[in-house]
């Protein structure tokens, strides 16, 4: 019986078992797409592969092959010489598509020159086989490419599972960090609330300054932001500023609440509240307490060096001490005192402007003036985040006969 060159000879009895059982790769059916413009070649390749249990799709040229590709395609057998879109052009388009960038593709060609092989590799061929196709060689190369695809698919699954695990653990970590941040924030809020209440303990002895410390913090935040300081520094500085007068807790009521002028010895005692406050806050690992210590000791220093307790001058005075010095005087002048009424903003500025470059840092004072509207809004707004207790009514001061505001403040030790 003559042998038909287009019809494959039957496989030896052991051949199907050899390729079906190794590592179980062919345990499940595979989908292989065969593209060749000659129908006889397509049928021959399909006939060689069908005994292995694969599902075979066929395409008459490169364009049809690209159209028939799907996520279920496991391998592409592609003839090199085809009209229209040839094998190399089809390969280049295939590799340009991320969905099929690693799909095994065997180029089938009758050309065996070195240049042809290089072109095939450059185009993205996974392997190539020469015509006329040898059945054993075809099956070995198909087997190798399917194993390679198995390995790639396994890596993709492992990568996907790893990414899912990472996403899950990252979400858990973020949740844990959020809970930690919430707990830290709660602790910080409790810490600040305790500080406010301790400071209020001293301030409540003077009924006219109960809200003073809360406004000071907000004033300092306004100026800190206006200076372009980092948000974290503004937060610490503005909160620390509320502790500027904590040392007053040690000042006797007879001096702290005195309505008349202070004697020289009483003024010296009043001035010790800066050093007492610094000692109260000293030695803490907390950045907030450290900032509070600096502000407590420096908020009565003056730009020209005539302040107290250390007679610091200009840039040797800590920045937040200089900021606090301005807003402390502003709030004190515009607040009621036992010995005088609250001044208007305009009256307060009449007193403060001559102190630019003497009491106050001139640059900071200019920033203060530039943001006066915002500071005035703070003055008018009720304090937020704290409940300020009232110590009850106090006797009204006796009538006065238009004394000098500067003299009144100096007699009480300072505007604060």
Q: How far apart are CA 211 and CA 213, in angstroms?
A: 6
Q: Are 370 and 259 in contact (CB under 8 A)?
A: no
pLDDT at 187: 66
Model pTM? 0.52
Question: What are the φ/ψ torsions at residue 74 (nearest 5 degrees)?
Answer: -105, -25
Fold annotation for 14-158? Rossmann fold (3.40.50)
pLDDT by 10-residue block (mean), the chain, 416 residues: 41 41 53 88 88 87 88 88 84 85 84 74 83 88 88 87 89 84 71 64 56 86 95 91 87 82 91 92 87 94 95 95 95 81 91 95 96 90 49 38 42 48
| Whole-Å CA distances, 69 to 35, 93, 373, 379, 395 | 11, 12, 70, 73, 95
User: What tokens appear for 42 in the block?
Assistant: 């397509």
Q: How far apart are CA 289 and CA 241, in angstroms?
A: 10
pLDDT at 2: 42
pLDDT at 304: 95
CATH of 188-411, one of 3.30.70.330, 1.10.540.10, 1.20.1560.10, 1.10.3210.10: 1.10.3210.10
Helix axes 231-241, 319-333, angle to 10 degrees: 50
The domain limits of the chain are 14-158, 188-411
| Whole-Å CA distances, 64 to 36, 43, 83, 191 | 10, 16, 11, 73
Q: How far apart are CA 110 and CA 309, in angstroms?
A: 99
pLDDT at 11: 42
Peptide bond connecting 299 to the previous residue in cis, omega within 30 degrees of 0:
no
């Amino acid at each position: 019986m003559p042998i038909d060159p287009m019809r494959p000879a039957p496989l030896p009895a052991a051949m199907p078992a050899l390729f079906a059982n190794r590592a179980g790769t062919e345990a499940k059916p595979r989908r292989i797409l065969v593209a060749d413009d000659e129908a006889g070649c397509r049928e021959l390749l399909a006939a060689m592969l069908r005994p292995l249990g694969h599902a075979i799709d066929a395409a008459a040229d490169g364009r049809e092959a690209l159209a028939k590709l799907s996520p279920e395609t496991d391998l592409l057998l592609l003839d090199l010489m085809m009209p229209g879109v040839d094998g190399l052009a089809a390969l280049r388009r295939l590799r340009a598509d991320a969905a099929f960038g690693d799909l095994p593709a065997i180029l089938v060609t009758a050309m065996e020159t070195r240049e042809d092989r290089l072109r095939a590799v450059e185009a993205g061929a996974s392997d190539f086989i020469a015509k006329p196709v040898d059945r054993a060689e075809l099956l070995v190369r198909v087997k190798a490419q399917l194993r390679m695809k198995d390995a790639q698919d396994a890596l993709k699954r492992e990568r996907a599972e790893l990414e899912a695990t990472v996403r899950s653990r990252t979400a858990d970590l973020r949740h844990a960090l959020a809970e930690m941040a919430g707990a830290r924030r709660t602790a910080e809020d409790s810490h600040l609330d305790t500080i406010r209440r301790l400071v209020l303990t001293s301030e409540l002895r003077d009924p006219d300054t109960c809200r003073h410390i809360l406004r000071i913090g907000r004033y300092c935040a306004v100026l800190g932001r206006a200076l372009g300081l980092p948000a974290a520094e503004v937060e610490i500085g503005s909160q620390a500023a509320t502790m500027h007068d904590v040392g007053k807790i040690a000042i006797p009521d007879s001096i702290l609440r005195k309505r008349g002028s202070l004697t020289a010895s009483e003024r010296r005692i009043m001035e010790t509240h800066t050093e007492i406050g610094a000692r109260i806050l000293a030695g803490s690992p907390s950045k907030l307490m450290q900032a509070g210590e600096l502000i407590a000791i420096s908020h009565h220093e003056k730009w020209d060096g005539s302040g107290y307790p250390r007679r610091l001058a200009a840039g040797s005075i800590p920045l937040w001490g200089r900021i606090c010095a301005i807003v402390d005087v502003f709030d004190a002048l515009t607040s009621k005192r036992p010995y005088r009424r609250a001044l208007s903003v305009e009256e307060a500025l009449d007193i403060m402007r001559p102190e630019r470059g003497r009491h106050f840092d001139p640059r900071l004072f200019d920033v203060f003036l530039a943001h006066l509207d915002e500071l005035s809004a703070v003055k008018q707004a009720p304090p937020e985040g704290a409940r300020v207790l009232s110590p009850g009514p106090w006797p009204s001061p006796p009538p006065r006969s238009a004394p000098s505001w500067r003299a009144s403040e100096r007699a009480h030790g300072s505007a604060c």
